[in-house]
A and B are shown apart, each in its own frame.
Chain A
Amino acid sequence: EAGVAQSPRYKIIEKRQSVAFWCNPISGHATLYWYQQILGQGPKLLIQFQNNGVVDDSQLPKDRFSAERLKGVDSTLKIQPAKLEDSAVYLCASSLEGMVETQYFGPGTRLLVL
C-alpha cells in the first residue's frame, strides 16, 4: 500500500514570496490533515478535511495560508506572502473516515523562508 505522498520535499523562498505544497493521501482515506512542525516543536494541526469539505481550520492563519481539496483526494496548502516564521516542516496526514485517531503521515515538506 502506497503511503502519503508529498511534494516538494524541500523549498527555499524569500519572504513575501508565495509557495504551494501538494499532498496525495493514502487511497480511500477520506480525511486529510495539514500540520506545521516548527524546529524543536511537535506538529501543530493547521486544517482538517473530510472529503472535500473543511472540518476544522481554527488554527490556520487565514490571512496568509489557504488550503483546498477540490476533488476530495489530493490537497494543496499555499502560503502567500510567506514570513520568516513560516519556516517549518509541513506534514500531511490522512486517515480512514471514522478512524481519525489513527493518522498516517507523509514525509513532509521542509520550507525555509529567507
Chain B
Amino acid sequence: AQSVTQPDIHITVSEGASLELRCNYSYGATPYLFWYVQSPGQGLQLLLKYFSGDTLVQGIKGFEAEFKRSQSSFNLRKPSVHWSDAAEYFCAVGPEGTYKYIFGTGTRLKVLA
C-alpha cells in the first residue's frame, strides 16, 4: 500500500540556519512527489514537484528537494531559513498522472530569531 512518512512532527531552527525536512514514501512504481507548505490560516501552497528527470528539483522560496530512489526519500532543503518560513510542511505522493495524492502528517517548522 502507498504511504508517506514524515518522521519529524516538529523542527526548530534558528534564522539563517540550514534546513532539511525528511520524507519517506512507500510506492511500487516511480511516483509523483510533492512538497506543500501551509501557513497558519492559509491553504496549501505547492513548493515543488518531481515527476521525472533530474532528481534535484528547485522550487519556490529558495527550496529544493532531492529524489533518492534507493532510499525512497524526497527530502526538502533550504540553505538559509527566514522567519517567514515558519509553517507546516507536507510531503505528498501520488500515482503518475492522477489526483490521488497521499499526504504525510506534516512537519511543523519553528524559526527562532
Contact = CB atoms under 8 A, between A and B. Distances in A.
Contacts of B42: 107
Which range holds the interface residue count of chain B?
A: 20 to 34
B43 A95 contact: no
Nearest to B103: A42
A93 B101 CA distance: 13
Interface of B: 4, 32, 36, 41-46, 49, 51, 90, 92, 94, 97-106
Interface of A: 3-4, 6, 9, 31, 33, 40-45, 48, 56, 91, 93, 95, 100-108
Given A42-B104, A93-B44, 14 more contacts: A4-B43, A41-B105, A42-B4, A42-B92, A42-B103, A42-B106, A95-B99, A101-B49, A101-B99, A102-B46, A103-B99, A104-B46, A105-B43, A105-B45
26 contacts: A6-B43, A9-B41, A40-B105, A41-B103, A42-B4, A42-B90, A42-B92, A42-B103, A42-B105, A42-B106, A43-B90, A43-B103, A44-B103, A45-B99, A45-B100, A56-B100, A91-B43, A91-B44, A100-B97, A100-B99, A101-B49, A101-B98, A103-B46, A103-B99, A106-B43, A107-B43
